[in-house]
Amino acid sequence: MSPEVQPCEIINKAKLKNVFIAVGRNLIMRDAVTSLIRKYDVTGRYLDRDAIDNLKQYFASGTARLAAAALINANSAALVRGAAIRLFEEVPELIRAGGNAYTTRRYSACLRDMDYYLRYASYALVAADTNVLDERVLQGLRETYNSLGVPIGPTVRGIQIMSEMIQTMASEAGIADTSLIAEPFDHLTRELSEVSI
């Protein structure tokens, strides 16, 4: 119990809202291992051949995942900036008068959002699990974007561009299997694309 909420205290709506926000921020980030173990624990089963094979695959790809995350970390600003440049070249009306990235404030918000997607995609990449994207990024995002009139299509395209750029960098850095890099980005674009505007 938080120190500001005393037993038997009448909780007003503002305090209740803050409690829910605090609980929401403390969602547990899972990785492939904890998700697999949780699945088997819930059903009361021992880890079978499939589980062991999945774990072997996860650990075998661990070095590549960490190397890709290190590339993202070292190049995050350049990735976001480069993806934005390509996006605005492909969809120039976004930065024209009346476009969703027109004005410095909106342009900055676009870059901030792209950085946010990149950061959480890197977490999902290392974890080999997209739950963090569902819980921390996608939950409520479509509704928020729709209510603000932010077009989903360019958002999806910006995420795809970042994925392409990272895969190219990873390939050039000697990471053989770049498909694992695409997984979190593909999840984001697939989930965001399911919305009808």
Angle between helices 49-60 and 62-90 (to 10 degrees): 70
Q: Per 3-state DSSP, what percentage of the chain is helix, strand, and coil (rounded to 5)?
A: 75, 0, 25
Is 96 flagged in the annotation as binding? no
Instruction: Count CA atoms within 13 Å of residue 2 on its CB side.
Output: 12
What's the confidence (pLDDT) of residue 9? 33
State how far the Cα of 183 lies from the Cα of 189, in Å rounded to an integer.
10
Q: Is 164 within 8 Å of 189 (Cβ atoms)?
A: no
Residue range 161-188: mean pLDDT, rounded: 96
pLDDT confidence band for 147 (50 / 70 / 90): confident
What's the confidence (pLDDT) of residue 145? 86
Is 110 flagged in the annotation as binding? yes
Range of the domain at 177: 61-193
Structure tokens at 11: 């909780």
Q: What is the CATH number of the domain that holds 91?
A: 1.10.490.20
Residue-wise pLDDT for 48-89, tens only, equals: 999 999 999 999 999 999 999 999 999 999 999 999 999 999
Last residue of a domain, one of 24, 43, 60: 60
Please give the model's pTM, rounded to 2 decimal places: 0.79
In a domain, 55, yes or no: yes
In a domain, 16, yes or no: yes
Residues 102 and 113 in one domain: yes
Q: 76-82 — which CB contacts under 8 Å span 24+ positions?
A: 76/115, 76/118, 76/119, 79/118, 79/162, 79/165, 79/166, 80/111, 80/114, 80/115, 80/118, 80/162, 81/111, 82/161, 82/165
Q: Is the dihedral of CA 167, 142, 26, 56 positive or negative?
A: negative
Reply yes or no on whether the pLDDT at 193 is more than 80: yes
Radius of gyration of the chain (CA): 20
Is 100 flagged in the annotation as binding? yes
Residue-wise pLDDT for 7-39, tens only, equals: 333 333 333 333 333 334 455 678 899 999 999
The structural domain count of the chain equals: 2
Residues 38 and 123 in one domain: no
